Amino acid sequence: MHLAELAEHISYLKPDDVALVEKAYQFSKSAHAGQFRKSGDPYISHPVAVAKLLAKWHLDAQALMAALLHDVVEDTPATKQQVSEQFGKAVAELVDGVSKLDRIEFQTEAHAQAEKFRKMLLAMARDVRVILIKLADRLHNMRTLDSMAAEKRKRIAKETLEIYAPIANRLGLNSVYQELDDLSFRYLFPTRYRVLAKAVKAARGNRRALVEKVLEAIQGKLQDAGVEAGVTGREKHLNSIYKKMQGKSLTFSEVYDIYGFRVIVKDVPACYLALGVLHGLYKPIPGKFKDYIAIPKGNGYQSLHTTLFGPYGTPLEVQIRTQDMHKIAEAGVASHWLYKAGDELANDAQQKTHQWLQSLLEIQSESGDAIEFLEHIKIDLFPDEVYVFTPKGKIMALPRGATAVDLAYNVHTDIGNRCVAVKINDELAPLRMELRNGDRVEIITAPQAHPNPAWLNYVVTGKARAHIRHYLKTMHSEEAAALGEQLLNQALRALKTEPSAIDEARWTELLRENNVKSKAEILADIGLGKRLNLVVARRLLASGESVLTEKKPLGSITIRGTEGLAVQLAQCCRPIPGDPILGVINKGKGLIIHTHDCPAIAQFRADPDKWVDVEWDPETKKLFDVNIKLVVANQRGVLAKVAAGIADENANIENVAMEEEDGSAYASMIFTLQVEDRDHLARVMRGLRQIPAVVRIARVKR
């Protein structure tokens, strides 16, 4: 019975391929013998249904065989090796890509889910047929979800809505996306779904006359203009209506455009001609026109979209496209198999998909773990897109809310890592500014620049986020290792041993004892406070405990202020060169430098193991932030006088805040200045005391 059903759908294959598909069916039927689905149907009905869905897209024999076999390795005694021997390595790889993770113990369910998606997405990046099989598998499972327990239904529906439906949309599989979206809505919010379905059904009758009137008017007008076109009215799917009600806080009666109209013409010029005819028939609503023919969506989708004032003021959404565009809109990336006759549109859709899949592999290489990878991908799966131009006129598609930093990483990783400024429409703009449709964007780079941690607050693409995080992790690790080496050398000298006396054999032994791969990892752990320098030093020394009696005081670590993320100047007291300082090892953050009298470290001063002696390098070539507070006479022009006094002493003003009490004769000003050292600050403060309006001045340590 099942084989006969399948045979009807695979007549497009060569006879030899049909025989292979039938062989795969027999193998799967035998492997799943005695297994039943929750609905009570024989298990083989599921792989056959998946294969039939793929046959609609005219996928090749390998994909259909993999669809029939996709559960045998996981759910039956059959092995990947057996599949490979009988049906070839390519089919076995497809089956492996589609099958879920083996029963591995994970820390959390979220981790297991994330790992499953990572495996699936990476398999898809190698061969897009993996995701087409997976989507067909999910679609059939969603169609037969009624037999599952309520809790499991909700979990599967949520997963479908968050991951599978957006992937189908991203790949341009419009009909699959809409069905998955609607089925997810139905099982996640069953009551809302029933109420809305009932309302749409009632409205269908009330609005039938309106729809027929609009169809007749459009067809008649196009005919009069000599435009050959097929015109259809379509009902929007329920989740789309629900999202519109939710997003705009509308009741169902206020959502007029539950019907859309589609006009299909023979070629691109006819699309624009039809658009002109429709704008002559009904007035267009300003700002509601989108030209996806000139600038296709990221998944290759092309159409003209316009919204018109219809009869009785009802808004009408209309899509105008060619027959080829319609094929791409419905089948997306699968159209490559369905329409192979050198179709340029299908090739374009394939190319865009390939670019996106390649970016998945890039994000994977930069992401630390599965959950982080999935977080990046989710961002890219909901791209309400913005289209911008490079200086050479190339169009770049980015998610809405994207900034110049997102664009820089989209062009190339090195451009992202080195970007320092941006020109938007020939004017300098902040890197954090959101890009808008049609912006002309020029990224300005500098050879010595590097990513700023603050960028993570406003980038929106997974690619940019992954590259920035990867760079910061690498830099943090390198800087921590450099600090760790200084701390370890300090401890070794305190134990009367020169660092050069520690040979590689001792290091190898220490790495083996701690099950660590490299010396850099141990040093980074010391720098980040995860290991104590004295403990590691003692373990490195062959004499072990005997050195304890010979211990001498630890020397000081020299601070330049340019060490990077591993050495940080405390924000509470803002130390500057010339201040007596102490270093506190903060686990996971590295060495934090405080002034010796900072209240924040009072608790550590009695415990020498918690702090490190540090001293300023005499040659610091950097400006340091410091806070000062002035009490000034509340008179006109006082801020300008103070700012001029600061500038006279060659100090920068980083920030200024005013505290003014109503009616008071005095006001407080708090400045964040950039100075070279304590002497420089003293000169600035002396200069400010000469201004008659300055009543009191002091350095602020919070």
Token couple for 471: 């760079």
- Catalytic choice (74, 162, 375, 625): 74
The pair of structure tokens assigned to 628 is: 């000062």
In the chain, count H helices and then E strands: 27, 19
Q: Which residues, including other chains, have CB under 8 Å from residue 646's CB and lie 6 or more apart?
A: 653, 671, 673, 684, 687, 688
Torsion angle (degrees, nearest 10) of CA 460, 462, 463, 465: 70
Tally of CB atoms within 10 A around 525: 19
Cα 445 from Cα 447, distance rounded (Å): 7
Q: Is residue 75 among the annotated active site residues?
A: yes
- Rounded to an integer, what distance in angstroms lies between the CA atom of residue 245 and that of residue 255? 7
How distant, in Å, are the alpha carbons of 429, 646, 658, 685 from that of 693? Answer: 37, 14, 15, 14
74 included as an active-site residue: yes
Q: Are strands 567-569 and 590-595 parallel, antiparallel or unpaired?
A: parallel
Tell me which residue of 183, 330, 185 sits closest to 244, measured CA to CA. Answer: 185
Q: Are 682 and 699 in contact (CB under 8 A)?
A: no
Residue type at 13 in one-letter notation:
L
What span, in angstroms and rounded, lies between the C-alpha atoms of 274 and 8?
Answer: 39
Phi-psi region of 270 (alpha: psi -120 to 50; beta: other; left: phi over 0): alpha
In degrees and rounded to multiples of 5, residue 558 shows phi and psi of -90, 130
Burial (CB < 10 A; 0-12, 13-18, 19+), residue 316, is: buried
CA distances from 546 to 347, 503, 551 (A): 74, 19, 10
CA separation for the pair 412, 358 (Å, rounded): 13
Q: How many CA atoms lie within 13 A of 79 on its CB side?
A: 3
**Token pair of 66 as six digits:** 């993999």
Token reading at 170: 């991203």
Residue from 17, 22, 60, 75 carrying the catalytic annotation: 75
d(C-alpha 446, C-alpha 431), whole Å: 14
Distance between CA atoms of 228 and 219, rounded to whole angstroms? 9
Angle between the N-to-C axes of helices 150-159 and 129-143, in degrees from 0 to 180, rounded to the nearest 10? 150
Identify any residues that bridge with 670 across adjacent strands, giving them in sequence order: 629, 657
Continuous H helices in 451-592: 462-494, 504-514, 519-527, 533-540
* Neighbour-count burial of 511, counting CB atoms closer than 10 A to its CB (0-12 exposed, 13-18 middle, 19+ buried): middle
- Residues that are catalytic: 74-75
